[in-house]
């Protein structure tokens, strides 16, 4: 059984796979100073709810963009699972050439998403990930990662608005019924949801114009469904893209059978 962990700045997504079958996926809050003991308790409790036998875990893959958590994750694997995790980063066999000026600068999550999207669609793609940052990544028709764009995430922008404007307040991030709102709550929702939908469409359209082609656009991430319900250019939403990418990368890095 494979344990796949995607550590983002806001959330940690934990996935369990029994062969090709998904046994469970959970999303928890990222705590940068969490200890291995705390992570073990969380993992044990989550798997217990699904009656998953944690002793059957025989492989671990981790994508992490939060350096302070790396030690705790490695300790979790060594002390409790008795396994050495496969870390997504330089040296891993991704099967995807990275056409970036400095490939080491590309976040692990961006590569994982790109690999999964290309494996599933086998064509040129733009992958939009709604995480702590909103990222746009282009993969060409030959399956090569070409680069992309990074914008502040939806929650980062919303939090900045609430912190800096003393009379504004937190609202549920859903699309209101109209752009020209008649109350402050709806006005905030309009600005954030419709504003980000326009940002997404705007960057994608600029990519289309720069490329001279129209790649397939795939979105993933926690707020993908909220924002992309208001976009015009996103064609497909894949909630489990990152987890599926980790599964693909783990298999590509297994020792060859003799």
Average pLDDT, integer, range 51-65:
94
* Rounded Cα gap, residues 199 and 192, in angstroms: 10
Share of the chain above pLDDT 90, in %: 83
Same domain for 47 and 9: yes
Instruction: List, for residues 32-43, the tens digit of each pLDDT value.
Output: 999 999 999 999
Contact 167, 148 (CB under 8 A): no
User: In this predicted structure, what is the pLDDT of residue 258?
Assistant: 46
Q: pTM value?
A: 0.89
Residue 139: burial class (beta carbons within 10 Å; 0-12, 13-18, 19+): buried
Q: How far is CA 187 from CA 157, 176, 190, 194, in A?
A: 15, 8, 5, 10
Nearest by Cα to 223 from 172, 185, 178, 180: 172
Concerning whether 109 is annotated as a catalytic residue, the answer is yes
121/241 same-domain check: yes
* 67-84 pLDDT tens trace: 999 999 999 999 999 999
Same domain? For 50 and 113 the reply is no
pLDDT computed for residue 89 by the predictor: 86
Are 36 and 123 members of one domain? no
Flag whether 253 is in a domain: no
Could you tell me if 79 and 115 lie in one domain? Answer: no
Residues 33 and 63 in one domain: yes
Q: Say which of 109, 129, 137, 238 is annotated catalytic.
A: 109
Let me know how long the chain is.
258
Q: Give the total number of structural domains in the chain.
A: 2
pLDDT tens by residue, 80-110: 999 999 999 888 999 999 999 998 899 889 9
Does the residue 252 lie in any domain?
no
CATH number of the domain enclosing 59: 3.30.420.40
Tokens of 10: 């806001």
Is 97 part of any domain? no
């Amino acid at each position: 059984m494979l344990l796949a962990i995607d550590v983002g700045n806001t959330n940690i997504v934990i996935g369990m796979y029994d062969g090709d079958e998904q046994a469970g996926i959970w999303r928890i809050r990222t705590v940068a100073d969490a200890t291995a003991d705390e992570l073990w308790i969380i993992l044990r409790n989550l798997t217990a709810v699904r009656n998953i036998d944690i002793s059957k875990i025989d492989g671990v893959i981790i994508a992490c963009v939060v350096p302070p958590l790396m030690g705790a994750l490695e300790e979790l694997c060594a002390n409790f699972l008795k396994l050495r995790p496969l870390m997504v980063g330089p040296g891993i066999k991704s099967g995807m050439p990275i056409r970036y000026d400095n490939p080491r600068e590309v976040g692990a999550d961006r590569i994982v998403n790109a690999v999964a999207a290309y494996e599933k669609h086998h064509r040129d793609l733009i992958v939009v990930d709604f995480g702590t940052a909103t990222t746009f990544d282009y993969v060409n028709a030959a399956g090569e990662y070409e680069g992309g764009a990074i914008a502040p995430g939806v929650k980062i922008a919303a939090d900045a608005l609430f912190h800096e404007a003393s009379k504004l307040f937190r609202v549920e991030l859903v699309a209101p019924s109209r752009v020209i709102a008649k109350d402050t709550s709806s006005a905030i929702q309009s600005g954030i949801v419709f504003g980000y939908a326009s940002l997404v469409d705007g960057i994608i359209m600029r990519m289309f114009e720069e490329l001279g082609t129209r790649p397939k656009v795939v979105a993933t991430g926690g707020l993908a469904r909220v924002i992309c319900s208001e976009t015009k250019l996103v064609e497909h939403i894949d909630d489990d893209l990152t987890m599926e990418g980790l599964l693909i990368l783990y298999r590509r890095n297994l020792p060859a059978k003799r």
